[in-house]
């Protein structure tokens, strides 16, 4: 019997393991926890045939999913390589994909080791959509290295499809660009907002007004600083590109403050409509009529990270009414 293992640090990938076990009851699934606060949930899940305390025990396992911080990634992979005793497929679930693939292509010398990087897109509002799980009907992004055993990879595809996900091949650099724009930049801005606010001499008074909106805007500053630094260092060019794009937007906004016309209102309306189109899954052209061909074209997929119940209802209402302009702001000025 094949053994699939998870090296876990997040609840999302614990749920991924649970879904794989649910749909493939005959597969032996084992795990190793990287986070103490996950230990209880792992035991209560009753998903795993065995919970390990030492990575050396993974030497005979067939497929290993690594869900770790980027800063620990190579160390964990090296431990698996050093103790390996058979053919094995290692699947990296952490960010900075191009760096991960390049490292694997140049540093993994054991011919028995196959390597791929991956990212399962999730829908946190799956219950509202009446789906079986957060993975159902979503895409499982795949970025194989040069060293991939075909038989192993076919098994991986079967596992992905068994939990009703769609295997989707994407270039690592393309993924890193998307990740930089949608994850790294918002977190950097979050750090900046938190930093300049606290450094203000008025922070003691300001903090009393720092409620929901401030919390949502700065939640990214809770990201492990060393981890974010590692990701930025490994995606410097792409992160810098998107940071420049944001700077340009801030410059436009700053200039609009000085205008006496409706430039500021126009800018705000465009931003509001952009957000609404994204929530509704209209991610094509700015007029909302052209569907997007990229991987982020599902409103219920990507909106699941942030969207509340009422927004999902808007999506349902849109489908029912077949309206194409629900995202348009109804101006009164």
pLDDT of residue 315: 52
pLDDT of residue 317: 53
Q: What is the mean pLDDT of residues 104-109?
A: 96
Q: Which residue has the higher pLDDT, 333 or 193?
A: 193
Segment 281-302, tens digit of pLDDT: 776 655 545 444 333 333 333 3
Whether 43 has a pLDDT exceeding 80, the answer reads: yes
Q: What is the mean pLDDT of residues 63-80?
A: 97
Segment 236-283, tens digit of pLDDT: 999 999 999 999 999 988 888 887 667 888 999 999 999 888 877 776
pLDDT of residue 297: 38
- With 0-12 / 13-18 / 19 or more C-beta atoms within 10 angstroms meaning exposed / middle / buried, residue 10 is middle
* DSSP secondary structure letters along 188-237: HHHHHHHHHHHHSTTHHHHGGG--HHHHHHHGGGGS-HHHHHHHHHHTHH
Q: What is the mean pLDDT of residues 117-139?
A: 91
Are the CB atoms for 131 and 156 separated by under 8 Å? Answer: no
Distance of CA 80 to the CA centre of its chain: 25
Strand residues in 121-207 grouped as ranges (E): 139-144, 166-169
Segment 208-227, tens digit of pLDDT: 999 999 999 999 999 999 99
pLDDT range class, residue 130, cuts 50, 70, 90: confident
Q: What is the mean pLDDT of residues 28-40?
A: 95
Q: What is the mean pLDDT of residues 133-154?
A: 94
């Amino acid at each position: 019997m094949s053994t699939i293992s998870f090296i876990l640090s997040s609840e999302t990938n614990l749920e991924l393991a649970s879904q794989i076990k649910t749909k493939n009851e005959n597969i032996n699934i084992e795990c190793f926890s990287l986070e103490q606060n996950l230990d209880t949930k792992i035991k209560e899940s009753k998903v795993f045939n065995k919970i390990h305390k030492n990575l050396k025990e993974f030497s005979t396992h067939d497929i290993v999913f690594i869900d770790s911080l980027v800063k620990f990634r190579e160390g964990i992979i090296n431990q698996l390589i050093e103790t390996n005793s058979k053919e094995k497929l290692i699947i990296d679930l952490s960010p900075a994909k191009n760096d991960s693939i390049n490292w694997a292509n140049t540093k993994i010398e054991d011919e028995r080791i196959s390597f791929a990087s991956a990212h399962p897109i999730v829908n946190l509002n799956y219950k509202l959509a009446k789906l079986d799980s957060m993975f159902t009907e979503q895409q499982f992004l795949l970025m194989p290295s040069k060293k991939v055993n075909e038989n192993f990879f076919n098994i991986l595809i079967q596992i992905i499809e068994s939990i009703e996900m769609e295997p989707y091949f994407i270039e690592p650099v393309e993924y890193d660009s998307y990740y930089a724009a949608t994850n790294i930049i918002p977190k950097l801005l979050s750090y900046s907002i938190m930093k300049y606010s606290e450094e203000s001499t008025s922070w003691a008074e300001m903090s009393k007004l720092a409620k929901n909106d401030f919390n949502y805007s700065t939640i990214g500053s809770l990201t492990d600083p060393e981890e974010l630094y590692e990701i930025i260092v490994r995606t410097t060019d792409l992160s810098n590109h998107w940071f420049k794009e944001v700077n340009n937007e801030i410059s436009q906004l700053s200039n609009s403050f000085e205008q006496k016309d409706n430039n500021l209102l126009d800018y705000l309306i465009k931003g509001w409509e952009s957000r609404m189109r994204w929530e509704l899954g209209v991610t094509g052209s700015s007029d909302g009529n052209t569907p997007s061909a990229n991987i982020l074209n599902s409103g219920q997929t990507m909106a699941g990270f942030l969207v509340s119940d009422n927004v999902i209802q808007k999506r349902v209402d849109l489908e029912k009414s077949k309206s194409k302009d629900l995202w348009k702001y109804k101006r009164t000025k």
